[in-house]
Amino acid sequence: MSAPIEIADGVYCVGVKDWNVRNFHGYTTARGTSYNSYLLLDEKTVLVDTVKSGFAGELLENVSAVVAPSKIDLVISNHAEPDHSGSLPAVMAAAPRAAVVATARGKDALERYYAGAWRFNVVKTGDEVETGKRTLRFIATPMLHWPDSMFTYSPDDRLLFSMDAFGQHLAASGYFERDAAPGVVMDEAKKYYANILMHLGGQVAKALRELEGLAVETIAPAHGLVWRERAGEIIEMYRGWAEGKRAAKVLVVYDTMWGSTGAMAQAIADGAARSGVDVRLIALAVNDLTDIATEVLDAGAVAVGSPTLNNRMMPNVAAFLTYVGGLKPRGKIGAAFGSHGWRGGGAKEVDEALENTSIERVREPLTCVYAPDAGVLDSCRALGASLAEGALSRSAE
């Protein structure tokens, strides 16, 4: 890294970029990611978050370009997940006089991970730490997305250190959202929200309420780029996602064995498209779950198709439904469909999984034997039209 970038007076980016990581505990990071760490120079020297284990040397080198690591007085751990705390042992070894600032749950997690005999300053919402000309304020954000999580707010800089929230898995040569190609930063922020936070809308809404009344001009997340010109926009996007806002969009997600379920999927998509809604026909064989979950976030309707294999749904359909089920998408309608041979079962399993995911099914599973005839294809088109109508009405809510 060249000289660390200053994002506010005396606040430096000292984190690292992980350009080539492509799998982040199952999340496909097509554009890599960054582990952001911020150094605040004041009467006290403060480090906000560290970086993933393996990057400690680079972090300490970046800190050293600004100040000797031994001068660090406080290491704020906004979030104990190892992508942000993995270098804490190395930092604490280099900064022997430092105390770790964390929530009680954060202290517990860090002690369990690292067994470090460190001094802790345990904080909760409303607690403050004076660092000289600044007073840093802490806002606990439990389950956003771990129990330990918190924001650190600097009123003097109008700056929010937001840990994972508002983050993007994105490695870029710049540091601010304006440094990314148009659309890229918001696409990655949406993908991040969908795959990490979709099931936590209530906690996200609570955190947004905590921010009301605070002057926030800059948001410095723990991944990706710093929000400045678009800080208000990303807060509004989070508000909409947390409320479960949906577009007039229909997804048709399927796998196929000999083309029959694929033909049904195509007919459902055709039926939906005639209503003028946004339709996505998504073959599980060639699409990535991370991208599909992003599409699910703001879809109004989701049809899911599987042929029957050994009286069950196809394994990749099960994987999709397990993954999306955990993300608990809200307020969607859907339906199961699929072909089978001598004995069914696949579409029925899909239907049960949709029910367990609280997706309101608009009809019983739509099935056919071996291959769809003209009547079945007509029924598929009618299902598509029905899903489109539901998605349209939900987009207006």
Catalytic residue among 83, 188, 278, 389: 83
In the list 17, 31, 84, 246, the residue contacting ligand FEO (rule: CB under 6 A) is: 84
Choose between 86 and 305: whose C-beta lies nearer to ligand FEO. 86
Residue 42 in contact with ligand FEO, rule: CB under 6 A: no
Choose between 175 and 337: whose C-beta lies nearer to ligand FEO. 175
In the list 223, 230, 381, 394, the residue contacting ligand FEO (rule: CB under 6 A) is: 223
- With contact defined as beta carbons under 8 Å apart, do 164 and 222 qualify? yes
Q: For residue 145, is the peptide bond before it cis, meaning its omega torsion is within 30 degrees of 0? A: yes
In the list 83, 157, 351, 389, the residue contacting ligand FEO (rule: CB under 6 A) is: 83
Choose between 198 and 321: whose C-beta lies nearer to ligand FEO. 198
108-117's contacts with Cβ under 8 Å and 24+ in sequence apart are 108/148, 109/80, 109/85, 109/146, 109/147, 109/148, 110/77, 110/80, 110/85, 113/80, 113/82, 113/85, 114/85, 114/88, 114/89, 116/88, 116/89, 116/92
Total site size for ligand FEO, rule CB under 6 A: 8
Q: Which residue in the shown chain puts its C-beta closest to ligand FEO?
A: 81
- With contact defined as beta carbons under 8 Å apart, do 123 and 148 qualify? no
Q: What is the DSSP letter of 30?
A: T
Choose between 45 and 290: whose C-beta lies nearer to ligand FEO. 290
Stretch of residues binding ligand FEO (CB under 6 A), selected from 77-85, 112-120, 230-238, 290-298:
77-85
Residue 394 in contact with ligand FEO, rule: CB under 6 A: no
Residue 222 in contact with ligand FEO, rule: CB under 6 A: yes
d(CA 380, CA 211): 46
d(CA 351, CA 17): 42
Choose between 84 and 249: whose C-beta lies nearer to ligand FEO. 84
**How far are the Cα atoms of 62, 123, 142, 204, 342 from residue 149, in angstroms, in the given order?**
25, 11, 5, 12, 52
- If phi > 0 it is left, if psi is from -120 to 50 it is alpha, else beta; for residue 331 that is left
**Minimum Å distance from CB 55 to ligand FEO?**
13
In the list 79, 137, 191, 230, the residue contacting ligand FEO (rule: CB under 6 A) is: 79
Neighbouring residues of 56: CB distance < 8 A, sequence distance ≥ 6: 50, 86, 87, 89, 90, 91
- Of 368, 388, 384, which is closest to residue 376 (Cα–Cα)? 368
**Minimum Å distance from CB 284 to ligand FEO?**
27
Is position 192 annotated as part of the catalytic site? yes
Binding mask 178-217 for ligand FEO (x = CB under 6 A): ----------------------------------------
Is position 169 annotated as part of the catalytic site? no
Residue 49 in contact with ligand FEO, rule: CB under 6 A: no
- Of 16, 62, 57, which is closest to residue 35 (Cα–Cα)? 16
d(CA 265, CA 270): 9
Residue 164 in contact with ligand FEO, rule: CB under 6 A: yes
User: What part of residues 119-158 is at the interface with ligand FEO (CB under 6 A)?
Assistant: 145
- Of 224, 195, 169, which is closest to residue 292 (Cα–Cα)? 195
Choose between 82 and 331: whose C-beta lies nearer to ligand FEO. 82
Helix (H) or strand (E) holding 108: helix 104-114
Is position 84 annotated as part of the catalytic site? no
- Phi/psi at 137 (5° precision): -120, 145
Choose between 222 and 234: whose C-beta lies nearer to ligand FEO. 222
d(CA 238, CA 261): 36
Residue 105 in contact with ligand FEO, rule: CB under 6 A: no
- With contact defined as beta carbons under 8 Å apart, do 76 and 47 qualify? yes
d(CA 99, CA 369): 67
Is position 238 annotated as part of the catalytic site? no
In the list 18, 49, 81, 298, the residue contacting ligand FEO (rule: CB under 6 A) is: 81
Stretch of residues binding ligand FEO (CB under 6 A), selected from 80-88, 228-236, 238-246, 299-307:
80-88
Catalytic residue among 38, 192, 238, 254: 192
Stretch of residues binding ligand FEO (CB under 6 A), selected from 57-65, 81-89, 114-122, 344-352:
81-89
Residues with a known catalytic role: 25, 79, 81, 83, 145, 164, 192, 223
